[in-house]
Amino acid sequence: MTKEKTFYFVNGLDADRASKKLMRRHVMKGKNAGKTFHRPSRVALQKARRPSAVDCYHQEARYEYWMPLSAQTGMRSVGNALLSFSLPVEVTPQSLMVINQFFGHVIDRIYPVHPRISPQDMKLMWMRVLSLDADAYTCNMYLMQASNALFLGNGEASPTALHHISQTLAAVNKRLQSNKALSDSTVAIIISLVHQEQMRNREADAKIHFKGLARIVELRGGLGQMLAEGDPLLPTKVCKTDVMFALQYGGPTYFFQDRMPDVRNKLLTKGINFDVNSAATTCSPHSSLGPDLEAALRGAMAVSVLFNNDLHDWAVDGLSFVDIVISLLYRLLRFSSLNEPAPEPAVHATYHIGLIIFVMMMVANSARSQLMKCGLILRRLRAVLNGGLDKCDNELVFWVTFMGGTWIADDVDGDWFASSLRTQAQELGLDSWQAVRRSLCKFPWIHGLHDEPGREFWDQITQGYQTSGL
């Protein structure tokens, strides 16, 4: 019996992609007919291979195929730098891809690139915390992949994200029943869980994890005891989680740390003078602001002077930078929680919200580009600016309004900010960017962070002014 032959007629001169694929398949079937291929045993290959903590990502991490080439190239150094560390598990190409995606698409979306802080050092600093042992590394890889799926996939509905979160929860529950319940690595995993729920805007779940975190720190003797026991990185990450949690959901902070004296002493060893007490001389009279608010104002002015000076790049290390941010936010949140009514008098409320936005601009690109929501900050800002500010210094009101408008960026209130700032600028006689900048620099203002977005915002304001014919 003769075998039937199948003929394919394809227009090879004007073939589309599907036709070309069909032709290649047909040709290769003919070339490979009757041949036997001997491939290495997959079982033997698996036995010879060193166990990896992130094999589960091999089939799911596929985003690089549609990522821009420039983004892939720019991110490679983050993951590859990990190869110089002594990590508790093997770092595979798949895990490097997950790490690079996390830092390139999630972290870089939230945090700005500070001109005086090494972004590589900041990222590697946190990887030290996330890789304390094999379990912590594995769980944090789960959560990084969940974050990638959340941002690059289908958001909260992503089955990949939900799967990895459930894997992490199972691992945490197992650790809490073991002798590792109070370990550094358990603390690091729970911190990552809090951040994950914040990004998913799951307040109830985030609060459950945060209460567990606070309880573990308490059972270990508090933050002071953790600092005395070893590396300050983990207590610093606990504090940052604490202040960001209070900013997002309101209420007082659970802990309090003022690391400004330690930062000052560290910088003095490098020949850098970080004098908090002599700062804030250009601001309006502030002797009645109260100890916490005045300390925050002086600290913010000192930070501005520090970064506006002609320092060599990266003179301030990443840990000191985070300590500065945490110390300022602790002072501001102890003065007033964001879910409370705005403090009285109006000058206190104005300085308070202005300083919060100043610090947030140090750690967050804009209110709209963040994965973690800042609704309470925006609500307080609107309440203060819509209240009675007649007794406040006009330049102070202009600074707060300008900072708020710059940070909110493309929010629906952008037109209101532009209109208000045009009126305020006319009253203050500010008719150029140079004049505006001189006024803003009387208050906390970092040139490397604020000049460029501030100039763009001012150009938008003046263009709208000219277009309206006013």
How are the residues of the chain apportioned to helix, strand and coil, as percentages rounded to the nearest 5? 65, 0, 35
Considering the domain boundaries, does residue 93 fall inside one? yes
Considering the domain boundaries, does residue 279 fall inside one? no
Considering the domain boundaries, does residue 32 fall inside one? no
CA dihedral 49, 50, 55, 61 (to 10 degrees): -80
Residues 71 and 171 placed together within one structural domain of the fold: yes
- The predicted model scores a pTM of 0.77
Contact partners, residue 414, CB within 8 Å, separation at least 6: 405, 408
Contact partners, residue 111, CB within 8 Å, separation at least 6: 122, 363, 364, 365
Neighbours of 197 (CB within 10 A): 19
The Cα–Cα gap between 402 and 421 comes to 7
Q: Which of 377, 354, 209 is nearest to 284 (CA)?
A: 354
Secondary structure of residue 318 in the 3-state scheme: helix
Residues 78 and 195 placed together within one structural domain of the fold: yes
Tokens encoding 347: 């000058």
Residues 56 and 188 placed together within one structural domain of the fold: yes
What is the DSSP track for 30-81? HHHTT----PPPHHHHHHHSPPBTTGGGTTT--GGGTS-HHHHHHHHHHHHH
The Cα–Cα gap between 325 and 147 comes to 24
Considering the domain boundaries, does residue 434 fall inside one? yes
- Res 96: pLDDT: 82
- Res 56: pLDDT: 33
Q: Which of 172, 175, 82, 94 is nearest to 131 (CA)?
A: 82
- Res 438: pLDDT: 95
| Domain endpoint, select from 249, 273, 297 | 249
Residues 109 and 216 placed together within one structural domain of the fold: yes
The residue segments making up the domain with residue 149 are 52-249
Q: How far is CA 309 from the centre of its chain?
A: 26
Residues 318 and 457 placed together within one structural domain of the fold: yes
- Contact 358/297 with Cβ under 8 angstroms? no
- Res 260: pLDDT: 93
| Domain endpoint, select from 227, 249, 271 | 249
- Res 180: pLDDT: 85
Contact partners, residue 376, CB within 8 Å, separation at least 6: 247, 248, 249, 250, 338, 339
**How confident is the chain (470 residues) per 10-residue block, as mean pLDDT?**
57 69 71 61 47 34 29 43 63 81 72 66 74 80 80 65 79 85 89 86 91 94 88 91 94 93 90 76 65 92 88 76 95 94 91 95 67 81 86 91 84 75 93 95 92 91 60
Residues 233 and 307 placed together within one structural domain of the fold: no
- Res 442: pLDDT: 92
- Res 52: pLDDT: 37
Residues 305 and 238 placed together within one structural domain of the fold: no
The Cα–Cα gap between 424 and 68 comes to 43
| Domain endpoint, select from 222, 249, 276 | 249
Residues 224 and 302 placed together within one structural domain of the fold: no
Considering the domain boundaries, does residue 41 fall inside one? no
Residues 365 and 232 placed together within one structural domain of the fold: no
- Res 22: pLDDT: 75
Residues 300 and 199 placed together within one structural domain of the fold: no
Number of domains composing the chain: 2
Residues 306 and 166 placed together within one structural domain of the fold: no
Q: Please write the tens of the pLDDT for every residue from 214-259.
A: 999 999 999 999 988 877 889 999 999 999 999 999 999 999 999 9
- Res 280: pLDDT: 58
- Contact 218/291 with Cβ under 8 angstroms? no
- Res 324: pLDDT: 94
- Res 221: pLDDT: 93
